[in-house]
A = this chain, B = another copy of it.
Amino acid sequence: MPKRVDHEAVRQEIAEALWRIASQRGLDGASLREVAHEAGISLGRLQHYFASKDDMLVFASNHISELADRQIRARLAGAFPDRPPTPYELLRVCLRGMLPLDDNTRTGILVQIAYFSRAVRDARMREPARKGIPPLLTWFAELLRTAVDRGEIAADRDLGAEAMLLLALTDGLTTYTLLDVHEAERAAELVDYHLGRLFQGRADTH
C-alpha cells in the first residue's frame, strides 16, 4: 500500500481551520474553498479527506466536543494539584470553564453556537447534545449529593433540579455576555452568587 498519510491528523487540522472560520462567519459562511485556504491546503486535498461538506461538519463537531471536554478535565486536574477538591470547588471551576472568560473559550463557544443554531432545526445534529448532557447532569447531582451529606447544602433541595438550573443558568449568562449585555466577569460573579446561595452552609466562601 502506497503513501501513508495520517488521515486523522489531516482531518483534525481541517476541522480546526473550519473552527476558526465558523467562529467569525458561522457555519453557512464557511465554504469548502475558504476552509481549505485557511488550512493551507487545496480544495482537492480537502475533498479527499471529506466526502461531503456534511461529513466535515459532523467530524468537526465531534472533534470540537472532544477538545472542549479535554480542556475542562485538564482544568479540573490542574486546579487542585494536591488537596482533593470539595464539591463546591469542582462545580465552581467547571461552571467557570463554560463562561467566555478567555479568548480561547470564547471562540469555542462561538463555534458551539454556530452548531447549536443548526441543531435546533436539524434533529440529526441534536443527537450529540441529547446524549452528552445527561451524564454531566448526573455528575453535577452527585456532587450536590455529597455536599448535602457534608452539610453544605440544605437537605430539602431538589438536586436534579438544582443541577439543571446550574447548567441552564451558566448557558443563559453566556448568551447575554456574548450579546454585550454585561461583561464576562459579571457573569462569573452571578454564578458565584447563585452558588453561594445554594451552598448556604458555606456562603462565606467565594
A1 at the interface (CB under 8 A from B): no
A129 at the interface (CB under 8 A from B): yes
Contact A121:B25 (CB < 8 A) given known A168-B175, A172-B169: yes
- Residues of A in contact (CB 8 Å), total 43
Contact status B24-A26, CB under 8 Å: no
Contact status A165-B179, CB under 8 Å: no
In the complex, the count of this chain's copies comes to 2
In angstroms, Cα B25 to Cα A26, docked, is 14
A16 at the interface (CB under 8 A from B): no
In angstroms, Cα B194 to Cα A176, docked, is 20
Q: Which residues of A contact B (CB under 8 A)?
A: 23-26, 28-29, 110, 113-114, 116-121, 123, 126, 129-130, 133-134, 158, 161, 164-165, 167-173, 175-176, 178-182, 189-190, 193-194
